[in-house]
Structure 1
C-alpha cells in the first residue's frame, strides 16, 4: 500500500492492489510523502471512493476536527447497523455535520419539523443520531439540539444500501406528517406522539405510501372492505377526505383496499 496523495493528516489516497482507495487513520499522513509505504496497522478505514475529488474539495474547506468527528459517527453507525454504508456517506454526512457545527456555534438552531415522524419511522437510525449528538457535545462542548439527531438519522438511512434518495425520503416523511395533521384536524383530536396508536398510524401511512409508490397493492377482500365502509362509515369518510387531499396535491392515488386498512387505524385511534 503506497501513498498517492495526502488529503489531510488523517486521510490519504493510496494505491492498494493496483486500486486507488481512501485510507483513514489518526495521523496516518504524518511525515509521509508521495510513494511512501503506509503501515496497514495505521489504517482504521479503507475503502474505494469514486468521488475522490469531491472529498478532497470538502476536506480543504472544513476543519479537520469536523472530519474526524464525522468519521467516528460513520464507524459507530456501521457497527450499530452491522453493515457498511454507501461510500457517499463520507461526503454527505461530513458536509452536513460540519455545516451544522458552524451553525450551532453561530447561535443558529434549525428546528426539524419531522422529528417525531423520523423518531418513529427510523428508530435505529435515530438512535445513531442521538449518539452522534452526544458525541459532538462531548468533543466540542457545544449544545447540539435533539433536532440534529433526526437530520443525521435521515442521512444514515439514505446511505444504507437501497436506503433511498435523501430528498425523496424527506418528502415522503413530510407527507406522512401532513396526513397525520389532516386526520387529527378532521377528527378534532389531540394526541401524544408517544401514544401507541399514533405510532402505529404513522408507521402504517409510511408503508402505505411506499407500497403506492412502488405499485405494490395491499389487497383486501371486497366483502371485508364493504363491512369496514359500513361499520366504520365516519372513519372511512375521514380517510377518503384526507387521502383525496393528498392525491390532489401530490398525485398519489390510494387504492380502495389501502383506504380500508387506513380506516381501521383511524377507528382504533378514535377508540383509544
Structure 2
C-alpha cells in the first residue's frame, strides 16, 4: 500500500481517539460520506495494517476497534493530520479547527484560493473541505459576506472590508472555544497587542472610565486587526452610516488612543480607520458611574427600558418597576448595545449556551424584552445580545425570589436540656439562616399537645414514634455532616412535594426516523393538533421561536417551544430519534422535548425548568432515554424524583 489518503488518516485518527468500537455508520456521519465508502476504506487500510503498526478488529454488532502495535510507526502515519500545518497550530482532525482555519485563510486572501491548496495544507479529503465550507458560508452570511465559488479558479470571500473585519474580530473572540494549540496561533501579535492594551488602559484611567476586562480585550483585538490589515494593504472604505458630529466623548478618547498607536505602528490612520475605532468605542460601556443618573434621562434609552419593563410585566407577570438596580444595569447595557446594533457589530457572547441552559426563564424573558430593541431599530437581535440581557434579568429574578421566599417554620425537640438545645439552635441558624425560622425549642413530652398546623418541619435529637402532621428529621446534638444532608433533603422535598407531572404516554414518541428539526417540530405539532391540544399554526410558532435562537442545549437534547403560549396546560412532548440530526450549526440532537406552555402560566415556570434541566444535564439518563424501547420507560426516566435519587 502507498501513502495513506487524507480520508484514511481521518478514519484512523477517529478510531485512535476512542477506546470503544466505532461503527462504520458513525464514522460516515463524522466524515460526511457513505457507510459503504468507510467500509471500503477500512478494508484497504486493513490490508496494510502490519506496515502501519496497527490492528483493526471488526466486532460484530459493535463496530471497529483500533489496536496500536507500534506507536512510533503509527504516529508517523497520522502526524500529518494532527500537525498538518505546524505554523498555524490547528488540529485538523476536529471540524471546528478546520472551519476556523478555512475562515481565517479566506478572510486574509485578496483573490481566489483553490481547494487543492487547502487539501495539501490540511491533509483531509476534498469532500471534507466542501462540507466544512458550508459552515464557513453560514458564518460569513451573518456579516453579509458571501463565499464565491468559481470553477477552475477556487473560492473567495466577497464583501466590504468593514464587514470582513467584524467577522475576523469576532472569530478572534472565540479563542476560549479553541484548543490551546489553536489559540497559540494568534499570539504572533502578542507583544504588539500588549503595548496597545497598555495605551488603552492609560486613557481609560485618565478619563476615569469603567471598562470590563472582556471589553478591554475586544477593543485591543479590533485595533490590532486594523493595524495588521492596513499593513497588508486592506484599506477601510467610508462607513455605510457616517458617524457625523455625535459621540464627542468617544471621538476624543479614540483620537488620543490612535495618536499613540500611530507612533507605535509607524504609520498614520486615515479618517475611515479612525471612524472604525470610534465605532468600537461606541459599542463599549465607556461611562463613569457618576454619570448614570444624568444618562438615564437620555430619551431613547429610557423609552426602551420602559418598554422592556412593560412587556415583562404583561407577558410574564414580572414586575421590576421598583427594582432600580435592574433599570440602572439595563441603562448601562443598552446605550452601547444600540451602537453595536446600528453598526451591525454582532459581538460573541461566550456564555450564551450556558445561560440558555442554566437560566431558561431569564433567556425567554430576554427574548421578549429584546422585541423593544427590534422594533426601535427594525433589525433582528441575535442570541448573543439576548444572552447579555438575560444575565441582567436573571439577577433581577434572583432578587425578586429572595424577597418572596418564605423561611420554613421549625420547632426543635431536644431531650438533653436547655444548653444543648441552644447550641443546636445557633448551629442551625448559622447554616440555614435564609431557609429556616426556629419558632421554639421544646421538650419531647410537649410535642403531643403542640399545635403543628403552621410548622413545616420538626427537628428532633430523639426518634419520634408518634404520627404527627409535620415531617420529622432526627439529628445528633452536635449536628453531624449526615444530619445537615438530611435537613437539606427535607427542604428540597418540601419544595417539590407538590410537583406536577408534565408527561403522559400520549405525548411520548420513540425511535422516530425524522431527518431534520423542521420535520421533528412539524410531526410533534401535528400529533398534538390531532389530540386537540394546539392550533393548526403551532408548528409555525415553534419554528418562529427557533429562528430567534436555537434550542439545542448539548448532550444530544433540544427543547423547542412556541414564541407565544398556545395550550391550556403546561406539559412536555418527548420524541427520541433513531439517529442524531443536525439541529443547529453542527450541534447534534437525538432527544427532543417540545415544551408546551400554558397560556395562564405567566412567569411561574421556575420549578418546571429546574425539573427539566436536572434531567437533560444528566448524560447517563439521556443515554437511557435514547435507548428506551417503551413509552413507560421514557416517562420513568423523566420522573424528577427517580432521576434525582
User: What TM bracket, shorter-length normalisation?
Assistant: 0.3 to 0.5
* Structure exhibiting the larger radius of gyration computed from Cα positions: 2
- Normalising by structure 2, report the TM-score: 0.20
Which protein has the bigger helix share?
A: 1
Structure ranking higher on relative contact order (CA contacts 8 Å, 6+ apart): 1
